[in-house]
Amino acid sequence: MQQRYNAIIIGFGKGGKTLAAYLADQGQSVAIVERSDKMYGGTCINIACIPTKTLVYEAHKSLCRGERSFEEKAADYRRAIARKNEVTGFLRGKNYAMLADRDNVDVITGTASFVSPHEVEVKTADKTLLLSGERIFINTGGETVIPPIEGVRENPRVYTSTTMLELEDLPRRLIILGGGYIALEFASFYAEFGSRVTILERGSRFLAREDADVADSVRKALENKGVTIITGASASAVRDAGDEAEVRFILDGTEQALPADAILLATGRRPLTAGLNLEAAGVKTTEQGAIAVDERLQTSVPHIWALGDVKGGPQFTYISLDDFRIVRDALYGEGKRVASDRDPAYTVFMDPPLGRVGLTEQAARDKNLDIKVAVLPAAAIPRARLMGETTGMLKAVVDAKTGTILGCALHCADAGEMINVVETAIRAGKGYTFLRDMIYTHPSMTEALNDLLSKIK
């Protein structure tokens, strides 16, 4: 027997859960399907932003306690994992109740797959349901890419960013395969907890997406924490070596090996579409495996939409939230919001964090733009001095003719807050002098924008 709904939402992520609540407020009957009771609220709350940032915070507190034994640091780490579990458990329960307590929302825990364009089969722990929906929204998120390296799938000391968060014993030696933003966050907080961390980056350049001076600033900050960064290193195998693992990699044509107590795969994420049986619904995917959508996030089937990581593009929680706004506007607004009308800032929450928005200096030069560049060391900021957090740098790229802010990189304390100020000015169409001449509270990190942008002549 079919259960009929106005809307079926597959996945309990940021976009999906917010949409479910909104549609329920419009009087719609909604089914939201989530494959795991450990994922109510989505990736961010359970296995990404919130747990990792909790550990970043706890690691910084641990570091501030000064030199101690590894055992004492390991105890801090166990307490941090317990607190992470407490935080995520609270938020998961809150998110579940936010929808489950509504009369016109059914939260169904099970695995969903399309049977037809309007029908979804859901296999729960004890039965199989057939749901029919006038509209269907896919919000299944992403999954870790497992690289084709010998031994990674079989070795119990190999972790993804998801499973690593469940590790209760602090590894003395951690090897991270990959040098992207997930790798940097994990490297930073594990080093602060007391692990000896080695990053093996396959590319010849560290942080190739950033300007060389920004990448160098980040590299020095990590190396000052004891992190070893090896570029041009291609992992070839992971071997079991008794009470430890061994990572083999090729560097300059020579095979080398490093021992490890834990190995983290930070080799990227991809859209999670496996098992959805999209073909039965006629939903098309891109060459990269993402669900293909138009500017308003409709798929190749007009009554089916995709939100969040599953549709490709930037993998940020706030993008998923904005996806909800696009769908809401398409259904109940003027249909003016589109996916191309955004160039969001982002922050890598290492210590200190790296926030960036817009173009890098190199990208601007590659476009043959006439630019001016300003750079300010974090050590020049009074607030950074009084906090004792003088590591890093600030950088702005401005159009020489119009004064438009083209891009900004902030590698300093509070960068995650400051970069939002810069993005707001860019979105409002304000030139660099707007931020340069703004009156900020003192002493604050944000007032460094006065000094940074005063360097533009």
pLDDT digits (tens, 9 = 90+) for 29-58: 999 999 999 999 999 999 999 999 999 999
The closest alpha carbon to 23, from 135, 139, 141, 116, belongs to 135
Assign 241 a pLDDT band (cuts: 50, 70, 90): confident
pLDDT, one tens digit per residue, over 80-92 is 999 999 999 999 9
Query: CATH code at 350?
Result: 3.30.390.30
The closest alpha carbon to 259, from 159, 185, 188, 172, belongs to 172
Q: Coil, helix or strand for 423?
A: helix
Q: What are phi and psi of 239, to 5 degrees?
A: -120, 150
Residue after which a domain boundary falls, among 290, 306, 341: 341
182 assigned binding-site residue: yes
Regarding whether 446 and 393 lie in a shared domain, the answer is yes
Query: CATH code at 228?
Result: 3.50.50.60
Active site residue 118: no
Residue 150 within a domain: no
Regarding whether 299 and 198 lie in a shared domain, the answer is no
57 assigned binding-site residue: no
Q: What is d(CA 342, CA 329) in angstroms, rounded to the nearest whole number?
A: 15
The closest alpha carbon to 27, from 366, 332, 256, 351, belongs to 332
Residue after which a domain boundary falls, among 318, 341, 364: 341
Residue 148 within a domain: no
Q: Which amino acid is at 410?
A: L
Regarding whether 134 and 204 lie in a shared domain, the answer is no
346 assigned binding-site residue: no
Residue 327 within a domain: yes
- pTM score, whole prediction: 0.95
Quickly list H helices, 259-391. 278-281, 317-332, 361-366, 382-387
Regarding whether 164 and 132 lie in a shared domain, the answer is no
- A 10 A CB-CB count for 13 gives 31
Find tokens 């706890």 and name the residue. Answer: 58
Q: What is d(CA 374, CA 453) in angstroms, rounded to the nearest whole number?
A: 7
Q: Is the pLDDT of residue 316 over 90?
A: yes
Regarding whether 101 and 32 lie in a shared domain, the answer is yes
Domain count, the chain: 3
Regarding whether 373 and 237 lie in a shared domain, the answer is no
Per-residue pLDDT, 64: 87
Per-residue pLDDT, 2: 87
The domain of 213 spans 158-267
Q: What residues contact 28, with CB distance under 8 A and at least 6 apart?
A: 5, 6, 7, 104
Q: Is the pLDDT of residue 77 over 80?
A: yes
Regarding whether 79 and 63 lie in a shared domain, the answer is yes
Regarding whether 388 and 244 lie in a shared domain, the answer is no
Residue 149 within a domain: no
The whole-angstrom distance between residue 206's C-alpha and the CA centroid of its chain comes to 19
Residue 417 within a domain: yes
Q: What is d(CA 210, CA 363) in angstroms, rounded to the nearest whole number?
A: 9
Residue 152 within a domain: no
Q: What is d(CA 45, CA 67) in angstroms, rounded to the nearest whole number?
A: 32
Regarding whether 207 and 331 lie in a shared domain, the answer is no
7, 137 in Cβ contact below 8 A?
Answer: yes
Regarding whether 355 and 335 lie in a shared domain, the answer is no
Residue after which a domain boundary falls, among 341, 375, 395: 341
Residue 440 within a domain: yes
9, 20 in Cβ contact below 8 A?
Answer: yes
Regarding whether 123 and 6 lie in a shared domain, the answer is yes
Give the pair of three-digit tokens for residue 167: 């590790």
For all residues of the chain together, what is the average pLDDT? 97
Q: What residues contact 384, with CB distance under 8 A and at least 6 apart?
A: 378, 390, 412, 413, 445, 448
**Residue tagged active-site, from 60, 118, 303, 442:** 442
Per-residue pLDDT, 242: 86
265, 144 in Cβ contact below 8 A?
Answer: yes
Q: Is the pLDDT of residue 1 over 80?
A: no
Residue 151 within a domain: no
180 assigned binding-site residue: yes
Regarding whether 427 and 285 lie in a shared domain, the answer is no
135, 117 in Cβ contact below 8 A?
Answer: no
